[in-house]
Amino acid sequence: MARTGRPPALEAAREEFLAQWGALGSAWGVNRTMSRIHALLMVSREPLTTDDVMAELDVSRGNAHKNLKELVSWGLVRPAVRKGERKDYYEAEKDAWKVVRLIARQRRSKEVEPAVAVLADCLERTKGLRDAESVAFRKQLGELHEFATLADSALEKLGREELGKVLPWLLRFLK
């Protein structure tokens, strides 16, 4: 057994998952610590306190607290009440489809919607220009706007629908 009381194979797999989820979060523009905290809570059988998170991930109290609050605001983590306990406990949403939907909503609102708005604004502001550079600019932005609008629509649908409704649509889209 590892010092945690877990079998070594479980401990190694768990650490690999936490590291990989952290790296995946970084690739999506989410800070690594927030992603690792989310991963830790997803694989924890019981709700954890800020102190538990600090000890497991070797992060400061402020860092753990700030990232837990952000995860709660995303809906990926919720406070858990323990009768007779004064400490705050946290648990992650464990339904994989709900996690994907919540992340899709956040990515859409933080990245895709602002990009669509900027592209639309730039197209509007250059609408009447007819010189070659402006025409090329508008053509490129028009294509990007079309793609971003499609991505926005897909993420919006993904973020609000249940798996049973989205899966057939997604499978058609991927064929």
Neighbours of 87 (CB within 10 A): 11
Contact predicate 155/112, CB 8 Å? yes
Contact predicate 70/34, CB 8 Å? yes
Joined tokens for residue 26 = 């970084």
Confidence of residue 168 (pLDDT cuts 50, 70, 90): low
Sheet of 77-80, strand order: 48-49, 89-92, 77-80
Q: Which amino acid is at 150?
A: L
Q: Where are the domains of the chain?
A: 8-92, 96-174
Looking at domain 8-92, its CATH architecture is Orthogonal Bundle (1.10)
Three-state SS string over the chain comes to CCCCCCCHHHHHHHHHHHHHHHHHHHHCCCCHHHHHHHHHHHHCCCCEEHHHHHHHHCCCHHHHHHHHHHHHHHCCEEEECCCCCCCCEEEECCCHHHHHHHHHHHHHHHHHHHHHHHHHHHHHHCCCCCCHHHHHHHHHHHHHHHHHHHHHHHHHHHHHCCHHHHHHHHHHHHC
Weakest mean pLDDT among 60-69, 92-101, 131-140, 143-152: 92-101
Model pLDDT for residues 29-81, shown as the tens digit of each residue: 789 999 999 999 999 999 999 999 999 999 999 999 999 999 999 999 999 98
- Say how far residue 82 (Cα) sits from the centre of its chain: 27
Determine the average pLDDT of the residues in 100-104.
83
